Structure 1
């Protein structure tokens, strides 16, 4: 039975043919050895470094390459995808960690590979982190209380464009001069979005979309604070009260 060729290999071949390159010429351009023949036959996986080169040289969207997006190319001026990724020794993409002290530098170094290599990085071997690019950011300040405590870490999945962003979800929003963790709310106009703090003491920020360089949807957090706080105690008490009410309703129904 013939081996099924994966979609990334098929699309890799399409790119090469559209560029009018031979297999050896394309391999040389991408730093992929002497030929791309094994990649196109599905016998050799496309390495992370080759994916990066496809993005840098030809604006090929990695999500399109692997069949998870209809957008073949990324307009890097409009894209909110990560501009730099780093790889481990096994050619797997790292989850870069951006501590509070590095957040100002992060905003101004979004395309500096050397600067990124100085940041700590790791991998989480869980299925929730297998698809897409992820990055970890440390929370600064108390604007997202009570959900996010100061100095906690949030893990965000890369969002390729504002159009692909999920409305009313917490995101890490990167602009040329800041890294913000906020609830993102889209407006009727595509030119700006509202960035909302969960702490009511902070005002809503009206953010021009054209200034957003990266966007990460938060899907999890890492916390070292396990204390039950006043608001949480109230929520627990409310949940217990609701459970008690359900039991009473069941008893009443049993008498009917």
Structure 2
């Protein structure tokens, strides 16, 4: 197959750069020589083998048709993220993925609840209507209409003073570019967990999302936007923990004062 009239070479280079990975590192992951990858990216290979077509398609999780026939560099960020989510623009005609939801007998959207034990299954079936239809369903008052909500459990203390092990009610986010220090549940593709973080988009600069914790004990984390499956914006939360009257700042100041007293006592010894 001749690659002369296709986008194969430019797409390989574009996707590799998008992943922020070197030719040497990518060639190692694919089990090929770096020189062969370089020739693929420059279009020096005029006859593409079936083995190469399949190998690169499986690595990027993008269909061969798309790699050959769609100029990926001209797609918008939202469509690229949908493509990376497994929603192939060539096969689907470039349509954005429709979020799988369930409705009640009055055709009103349910609020699906994703329990802790369903986390692993959700990562595999979040865009499967059959799977979503089997999740527990809730009807919660005072939620805005014409929006999609879902409830997730939280783990850990990275978002104190919001307590751990609470239930977070969230709204589905279609456009991630406007997020700026927005509390969100982030669904990562390759992690069997839900991250509850303050999210800021860095898509326009380096195609990443910055995840920040309210708890200063946790460091910020940058993740590649293509590694994220879904983002759900915080709306409210449910907890059985009675909040302390002491704020986080007050707690920190109290701890610092206790340390000062301990240090002083050591000096006096």
TM-score scaled by length of structure 1 = 0.55
- Give the match's secondary structure for 1:213: strand
Give yes or no for the alignment of 1:135 onto 2:141: no
Aligned to 2:99: 83
The 5 A counterparts of 1:92-107 are: 92-107=108-123
- What are the Cα deviations for residues 61-103 of structure 1, in whole angstroms up to 9, with x where unaligned? xxxxxxxxxxxx9774378977311111221111111122222
Aligned length: 161
The 5 A counterparts of 1:210-249 are: 210-228=226-244, 230-231=246-247, 234=250
Unaligned runs of 5+ in 1: 1-72, 236-256
- What are the Cα deviations for residues 196-227 of structure 1, in whole angstroms up to 9, with x where unaligned? 11122222221111122211110211121124
TM-score scaled by length of structure 2 = 0.53
Shift of the 87–145 alpha-carbon distance from structure 1 to 2, 3 Å rule, reads same
Would you identify which runs of 4 or more consecutive aligned residues in structure 1 move more than 6 Å? 78-82
Aligned to 1:28: none
Corresponding residue to 2:171 among 134, 147, 157: 157
CA contact (8 A) 1:81 1:215 kept: no
Structure 2: how far apart are the matches of 1:130 and 1:149? 28
The 5 A counterparts of 1:187-198 are: 187=202, 189-198=205-214
RMSD of aligned alpha carbons: 2.8
Structure 2: how far apart are the matches of 1:131 and 1:113? 19
CA contact (8 A) 1:104 1:177 kept: no
Corresponding residue to 1:144 among 159, 171, 195: 159
Unaligned runs of 5+ in 2: 1-77, 86-95, 252-269
Shift of the 81–225 alpha-carbon distance from structure 1 to 2, 3 Å rule, reads farther
How far did residue 191 of structure 1 move?
0.6
